[in-house]
Every structure is written in structure tokens, then in C-alpha cells.
Amino acid sequence: MTPHEQLLAFLAERSARRGNFTLASGRQSSLYIDARLTTMSPDGLATIGPLALAAIHDAGWSPDAIGGLTLGADPVSYAIAYASALAGHPIRAFTVRKEAKTHGTGKLIEGPFKPTDRVVVIEDVITTGGSALKAIDAVRAAGATVLGVLAVVDREEGGREAIAASGVIAIALAGAAAIVARMPESSAS
């Protein structure tokens, strides 16, 4: 099984559920993909890191740092950063808070982020693109250049197109249709 096939299997078996759900975007859906059940598991991290790193390179992006809106982007960013260190070309990871801290340094972006960075914004699941767009805005406001967006899952509901409308290319490791095609029959919530 290739790493991509393994990722699809993990997502179908662990992360995807059928039922009636309200998504973070506020939309109603009969499909819920909780990518964290894959991205926070040891074998999921070990699969996603190198696979995402390869996708970043295949896209022609050479980032200094990667990160996105907490919480979904965090484990994916860390897996990629670790894989990049093992590959001998370290890429730093950062986190974008949903709101700036009201104490300490008051940062919106945490970690070894620099205003001069070339960045790939990371997302676990793209539906409308809203979370990625918030992260893009925060990174740009801090002075960095956004090279693109990488998501683990694209729900294929217009989010990539919304991100593209902001002038940023978005790619995904897996699409919802490919995940659904591999879901076991007993995946109701």
C-alpha cells in the first residue's frame, strides 16, 4: 500500500462518519471528517509528514515555515516539520491563534515564525476555506509571504476555490470522494 493509499484508509476508517452534523462553517452535512483522529495518531503523523512534505515540494514551494489556525493545523505542521528535519531540509512550524493573547507578549502567531518567512499555510480539512483564509490574513499581516495552502482533506465544497479567489493556490492530500469510496458500511455516528 502506498503512503497515499494508507492515508486514505486511515481517514476512511478513523476520521469519516455518516450522520447529521453541523460543520465549523455552520453548514449542515451528512458527512463529518474529523481528521484529528488520523492526524493525532502516531501512524497518521508518520504517514502525513513525509507525504505532505513531498506534496509541498511537488507544488514547487520552498517554505521557511509552515503553520495554520490552531487546532487542526497543529499536528499536521509538526509532522511536516519533523519529516523535513529527517530529510535534512528543516522547515519551522508555527501556530496561528484564533485570537491574540491578552497576556504575555500578546502574540497571534506562536512559534519560530519570522516576518520575512515564505510560508505554506496548513489546514486539516477545507470546507469553505474560512480557517485557511484567517491564517493567510494573519501571516500576511505579520509580513510573511504565503506560497500556498496544503490541506490533509478537501471536502470538495468550494473551499479551494475560495482560497484561490484570494490569490493563493490550495492543494490537498485527499479529497472527500476518495475517502467516502473507502468508508466501511458501519461508519454511522
Residue 26 binned pLDDT confidence (cut-offs 50, 70, 90):
confident
How sure is the predictor about 86, in pLDDT bands with cuts at 50, 70 and 90?
very high
pLDDT at residue 105, as a whole number: 65
CA Rg value for the chain: 16
What is the set of active-site residues?
A: 101, 103
DSSP the chain: --HHHHHHHHIIIIIEEEEEEE-TTS-EEEEEE-THHHHTSHHHHHHHHHHHHHHHHHTT---SEEEEETTTHHHHHHHHHHHHHHTT---EEEEE-SS--SSTT--SEESS--TT-EEEEEEEEESSSHHHHHHHHHHHHTTPEEEEEEEEEE-SSSHHHHHHHTT--EEEEEEHHHHHTT--TT-B-
The rounded mean pLDDT for the chain is 94
49 pLDDT above the threshold of 60: yes
Closest CA to 79 of 89, 91, 97, 62: 91
* pTM for this model (two decimals): 0.94
The pLDDT-based confidence of 99 (bands split at 50, 70, 90) is: confident
What was the pLDDT predicted at 23? 84
| pLDDT over 70 (residue 5) | yes
Q: What is the mean pLDDT of residues 88-105?
A: 85
Set of cell numbers at residue 125: 480539512
3-180: CATH, from 1.10.3720.10, 1.20.1250.20, 3.20.20.70, 3.40.50.2020: 3.40.50.2020
